[in-house]
Amino acid sequence: MVEHKYVIGLDYGSDSCRALVVNATTGEELSSSVKLYPRWSKGLFCSPEENRYRQHPLDYLEVLVDSVTDALSKCPQGVAKNVVGMAFDTTGSTPVLIDELGIPLALRPEFAENPNAMFVLWKDHTAINEAAEINKLAREWDVNYTELEGGIYSSEWVWAKMLHVLRCDASLAKSAYSWVEHCDWLPGVVTGTSLPSSLKRSRCAAGHKAMWCDEWGGLPSEDFLTKLDPLLKGFRDRLFHDTYTSDTPVGKLTKEWADRFGLSTDVVVSIGAFDCHMGAVGAQIAPNTFVRVVGTSTCDIMVSSYDEMEGCIIPGICGQVDGSVLPGMVGLEAGQSAFGDVYAWFKRVLAWPIESVIASSALLDEATKAKLVEEAIDSIIPLIALEAEKVPAGSLSVFATDWMNGRRTPDANQLVKGTITGLTLATTAPQLFRALVEATAFGSKAIVDRFIENGIKIDSVIAIGGISQKSPLVMQILADVLNMPIKVAKCEQACALGAAMFAATAAGVYSSILDAQAAMGQGFSKVYSPNPHNAEVYKSCYNRYKLLGDTTEASFFSNQ
């Protein structure tokens, strides 16, 4: 009997952490466990009106132990002792200020309740001004450090965020020695390598978000950073020079963490990366394949050979980084700031009468009301999608842009906002919903077109993430608008599976991540083929979308 080896993929999403125990040989999923971040679930430290979203480091640590031990407890006996690797993927850019010992400032008693001392979640947009300053300075500088990050630095990214929190709080700035991305912090913690001097940084996070590039000697120069703000003086030297691809081991579990998990100290922990990059690997990304993680927002990932990328700089995407997805290829990232969040927004608008009006009714008792309200709100999206499906493509005068959360790519601009036009007195709620779905699909097409216009061939789309599994309406409209077939990955936990593939590679089960993908990949559950008629109709609809975006952006939402 073969003694199987196992690996654990840890996927830190926006709301929860998932631990996935995987057979390293076959890719079979043995068990998984999802744990919500406890403080985040209560809405602590956030202010949606200001687009401020912060997460406490204790949230991450608590769910780590809980999810791993819970997942292992569901496995057959003998699995835990044969776990050989562990890898982390997280949201990003989600950085935190750390002290000289590498400890996130919110873990120090004096900053325990200070949102600026916590991880600044990817979707936090409080650093809009700082991003604008970075863009201004970068354009004047002799090296354009934003060039490989699409030419526009975003308020969602680490330098803008860290500068913002440093400026917000003088006492914090005094205690801040360096900063760390979420995906780099956890491997450091569990392997005992979290001192700033020993922290190993991920190529993915550094290249896509921190303007790190070999070509200009790593991070932007000290001159650039102090010119941006003297507050940044000294940080560059205390940060990092080298970065690593995710097939690289960081180290092994410390005794303390191995005991907590119930694992051995031989478990190899590999370099972390952002969730979508590992998700793309888990979904079997290959050259010329456009992988979309379709959830509240989208993250779009491609890999391209050095040959294809020779001399190619793609403007307005989130970045092109050697080895950020698959080692030995250039990883390309793009994405929409809001995708499922656009539908969730409309659901909240439609939930208002249920919550407010039903709640004030004297016809029902409180318990029935509460149950009815909950049930009704849960039914909104499924029911409205059924109605929206009946509307023929292109039959509506109503159309929209998808910028309710700003625009990430192409051409980041967090100041733009959403628009719905073509409204008549006959426009219905399901028609509005369909227009919003179409708007998110048009936003996707704008990204795909940007790649194609810059010579990147795309012959296949793979979708992963909740919406790809749950919403046939959205996926069909996306296929029609892109006029490309979309394969939905069978694996529902592609990010955690991708992490497991990297863990297996770093632990030596495979000699390369490509071998791990081939052995552990799970294939596809469904293919959405474009409807030729709708694809044709949507071509002209897309032109209206672009014009609506251009005119509203130029008239109302000034550029960064």
Binding site for its own copies (CB under 8 A): 48-49, 51, 338, 341-342, 344-345, 348-354, 356-358, 360-361, 363-364, 368, 371-372, 375-376, 379-380, 383-384, 387, 397-398, 404-405, 417-430, 432, 544, 547-548, 551-552, 555-556
Nearer to its own copies, 276 or 384 (CB): 384
User: CB 235 → its own copies: shortest distance, Å?
Assistant: 32
User: CB 113 → its own copies: shortest distance, Å?
Assistant: 24
Give, as one character, the DSSP assignment of residue 296: S
Query: 22 — phi, psi (to 5°)?
Result: -125, 140
Structure tokens at 383: 């029911």
DSSP codes joined into one string, 333-350 = EE--S-SHHHHHHHHHHH
Nearer to its own copies, 529 or 551 (CB): 551
On whether the CB atoms of residues 267 and 83 are closer than 8 A, the answer is yes
Structure tokens at 297: 């927002």
Nearer to its own copies, 231 or 354 (CB): 354
Residue 247: C-alpha distances to residues 165, 207, 273, 323, 506 (Å)? 32, 16, 10, 10, 5
User: CB 429 → its own copies: shortest distance, Å?
Assistant: 4
Nearer to its own copies, 179 or 538 (CB): 538
Nearer to its own copies, 22 or 342 (CB): 342
Nearer to its own copies, 436 or 516 (CB): 436
Nearer to its own copies, 77 or 424 (CB): 424
Nearer to its own copies, 44 or 112 (CB): 44
Give, as one character, the DSSP assignment of residue 316: T
Number of residues in the chain: 560
User: CB 355 → its own copies: shortest distance, Å?
Assistant: 9
User: CB 518 → its own copies: shortest distance, Å?
Assistant: 40
What single letter denotes the amino acid at residue 486?
A: I
User: CB 338 → its own copies: shortest distance, Å?
Assistant: 6
Q: Is 94 helix (H, G, I), strand (E, B) or coil?
A: coil
User: CB 415 → its own copies: shortest distance, Å?
Assistant: 10
User: CB 208 → its own copies: shortest distance, Å?
Assistant: 23
Nearer to its own copies, 30 or 364 (CB): 364
User: d(Cα 200, Cα 180) in Å, to the nearest integer?
Assistant: 10
CA 521 distance to own-chain centroid: 21
CA angle 84, 89, 91 (to 5 degrees): 165
Q: CB neighbours of 453 closer than 8 A, spacing ≥ 6?
A: none
Nearer to its own copies, 131 or 281 (CB): 131
User: d(Cα 367, Cα 240) in Å, to the nearest integer?
Assistant: 56
What single letter denotes the amino acid at residue 154?
A: S
User: CB 35 → its own copies: shortest distance, Å?
Assistant: 25
User: CB 383 → its own copies: shortest distance, Å?
Assistant: 6
Residue 225's nearest CA partner among 138, 296, 153, 152 is 138
**225-261 as b/e, with b when 16 or more CB fall inside 10 Å?**
beebeebbeebbeebbeebbbbbbbbbbbbeebbebb
Structure tokens at 183: 């995906």
Structure tokens at 503: 């863990």
